[in-house]
Amino acid sequence: MADLTCALVLCTFAVLVATTSGVLALLPKSAGNKRLDGHGGILLARGIMEVAYKLFEPLVNLLYRLRVTPNMVTAFSLAPAIASAGLVAKGHFGVGAMLAAGSGFCDMVDGMLARRYNSGSDIGELFDAAVDRYVEFLLLAGLAIYFRGSIPSLLLCLGAVLGSFMVSYTTAKAEALGVVPPKGAMRRAERAVYLLFGCSVAPVWQVAGLGNHQVASISLGRDLPVQITLVIVAVVANVSAIRRMFRTAELIRAKKRAA
């Protein structure tokens, strides 16, 4: 029951944000959040991200008045991420998704809070990036443990892990080599939305009574929404990483020719 309740809450929140984004898209355009440049995807359009940032502004204001620092929020995000991994590993997708979403919101809030304090620093960015990697890995690790009895599903989890970290690596490598990181699909926020969407739908899928049939060890019942999102993340993230690498190579060659 808790899984279904959490799943419905998350789905309702997603619908409200998407609806608000659609309404705002019809209104006169205003200056957007420049931090969101290059972000977004099919399930995470730029307008949706703008609305999400607006919704969390009151919380950021409260944390600012309480003198909560961005690093405190960043460190705290590990707690729900660890709990989420444990619950997802046991098949509690709804509650696990809720906690993982809370951890993801912390990542949004710490950046907004840093801008309120005007205290952005290289050390803070390093800490935030490191925690982000751990948080993302924990959810995928929980899914991998849950699917450990199914080789195809486990391979999907490992493919999602590989694609996720390769997208982040190619972006970081481009920056280290002094070229503008290529834009592409499956950045961290988009990957998280896909995985959370799959986990949130799973309890609803089960209640709908769609059975628990299996084909080649892959469940066509309760686990199917999670497996579909794993396929999307694994395939699109790895394709995106490869495209980013080739684009980075082109930019490096162009930079050398111009030197």
HEC string of the chain equals CHHHHHHHHHHHHHHHHHHHHHHHHCCCCCCCCHHHCCCCCCCCCHHHHHHHHHHCHHHHHHHHHCCCCHHHHHHHCHHHHHHHHHHHHCCCHHHHHHHHHHHHHHHHHHHHHHHHHCCCCHHHHHHHHHHHHHHHHHHHHHHHHHCCCCHHHHHHHHHHHHHHHHHHHHHHHHHHCCCCCCCCCCCHHHHHHHHHHHHHHHHHHHHCCCCCCEECCEECCCCHHHHHHHHHHHHHHHHHHHHHHHHHHHHHHHHHHHC
Q: Which structural domain, as residue segments, surrounds residue 51?
A: 2-258
Q: What is the CATH number of the domain that holds 28?
A: 1.20.120.1760
> If pLDDT is split at 50, 70 and 90, which confidence band does 190 have?
confident
Per-residue pLDDT of 43-61, as tens digits, reads 555 556 677 777 888 888 8
Residue 257 has pLDDT above 80, yes or no: yes
Count: domains in the chain: 1
Instruction: Express each pLDDT in 117-159 by its tens digit.
Output: 887 777 778 888 899 999 999 999 999 999 998 899 999 999 9
pTM for the complete prediction? 0.83
